[in-house]
Structure 1
Amino acid sequence: MTIHSSHPFEPDETDRDPIRRFRGRLGGAVSLWTAGEGRERAGLTVTSMLVAAGDPARVVVLLHPDADLLERVEETSAAVVSLLTWRHRELADVFAGRFPAPGGPFRVGEWEQTQWGPRLVSAPSWLGVRADARSRRDVGWSVLLEAVVEHVELGEGAPDAGDAGDTESSAPLFHRRGRYLRL
């Protein structure tokens, strides 16, 4: 057996997409988007999103066109957007398809059904959103979707980055250049 110093499935430096590499240097908070109910649930970790204040507030997201989540959001018109914390690293990898999840990804964590979809109980801050089907359009290799924010929960369990009360488990989860970070 050989132990490699690099990721065994990563393409050679010359074969990597420069735009994807640039985007990876931006970094961002890791969110978990979930939709559906029962056996028809789907979820995906997402960093490519923007929250726009307004009346109503909106969320703009980029999703892979083949993602089960996109199909489920288009069917139900609703989703839950949970902000993940440092303790959710493994769960983020499960929903990104990087870690196996025998029985499915919703076997990881505790879930509560809401009118927008399944909510991760341990995620203290989350949104309930309603997708605007008219906003759907192809953007590069992704699908851009807008959703209207219908519900906001700002949990007390996770202080903002930089607060004196930050703990290892409640620090916001960030992703940059293929790695999770705490600020």
Structure 2
Amino acid sequence: MGNGCQAAVLAGGAGIDADTFRSAMRQLAGGICAITVGRGDERTGLTSTSVSSLSAEPPALVFCINKTASSWPILQARRAFAVNVLPAGHRSVADRFSGRNGVKGLDRYEGARWSELVTGTPVLLDALAVLDCEVEDLIERFGSAVVIGRVVAARVRGEDAEPEALTYWRGAYSVIRR
């Protein structure tokens, strides 16, 4: 292929290898969200770029979680979570919730201001948007789970909100400006 593209196909129609798949998926830019789960001392969470709208009537969304994630058992037990859409100034929150530098559990909440909405799950006070959800369904496949959440409360920052969103593209943070 003379246009700078790479092609990789495994023999016998088995699809592509994992490294090629990861490389292809890194071309898909995604908004960064801190998914919060748990209450009190069991609070934890994760960083996700896989949040997507499922339905407006009723309001529902989906995201994916690896079943080896520390947040998985808490999500299964509590059956509630919040999606916190991160503004550009919250790279440190994204890093903590991704577990960078070994940060786990309650320590992921340090350095930011939190409150609660309907489910009691922590929500980031200065997120661009917050969607407070109850788990509608968990679909387990390939070592991960697709989480379907019914949105029970939401908060969206107004025009005074930071005009830049934090995104992830090609393995690094990027910023989208208004």
Q: Which interval holds the TM-score relative to the shorter structure?
A: 0.7 to 0.9
Matched residue, 2:113 = 110
Counterparts of 1:16 and 1:144, CA distance in 2: 19
Maintained 8 Å contact 1:158/1:172:
no
Q: Does 2:11 match 1:18? A: no
Under a length normalisation based on structure 1, what TM-score does the superposition of the two structures give?
0.78
Q: How many pairs align?
A: 157
How far apart are 1:140 and its partner, in Å?
3.0
Matched residue, 1:177 = 170
Distance change in 2, residues 1:48/1:34 (3 Å): same
CA RMSD of aligned residues (A): 2.0
Taking only the aligned residue pairs, the percentage that are identical comes to: 25
How far apart are 1:101 and its partner, in Å?
4.3
Flag structure 2 segments of 5+ consecutive residues without an equivalent. Answer: 1-16
Counterparts of 1:101 and 1:32, CA distance in 2: 14
Maintained 8 Å contact 1:83/1:124:
yes
Under a length normalisation based on structure 2, what TM-score does the superposition of the two structures give?
0.80
Distance change in 2, residues 1:114/1:40 (3 Å): farther
Matched residue, 2:5 = none
Deviation track 1:27-59 (CA, whole Å, cap 9, x = no partner) reads 100011101111110110100121123321211
SS at match of 1:148: strand
SS at match of 1:109: coil
Q: 2:133 aligned to 118, 129, 133, which one?
A: 129
Q: 1:87 aligned to 86, 89, 96, which one?
A: 89
How far apart are 1:149 and its partner, in Å?
1.0
Maintained 8 Å contact 1:65/1:143:
yes
Q: 2:51 aligned to 45, 49, 52, which one?
A: 49
Counterparts of 1:24 and 1:98, CA distance in 2: 19
How far apart are 1:141 and its partner, in Å?
3.6
Counterparts of 1:17 and 1:33, CA distance in 2: 26
Counterparts of 2:75 and 2:103, CA distance in 1: 22
How far apart are 1:100 and its partner, in Å?
4.9
Deviation track 1:88-134 (CA, whole Å, cap 9, x = no partner) reads 011101110113549711122112133330111121411011101xx
Maintained 8 Å contact 1:44/1:96:
yes
Q: Which runs of 4+ in 1 moved over 6 A?
A: none
Maintained 8 Å contact 2:118/2:153:
no
Flag structure 1 segments of 5+ consecutive residues without an equivalent. Answer: 1-14, 160-165
Maintained 8 Å contact 2:167/2:175:
yes
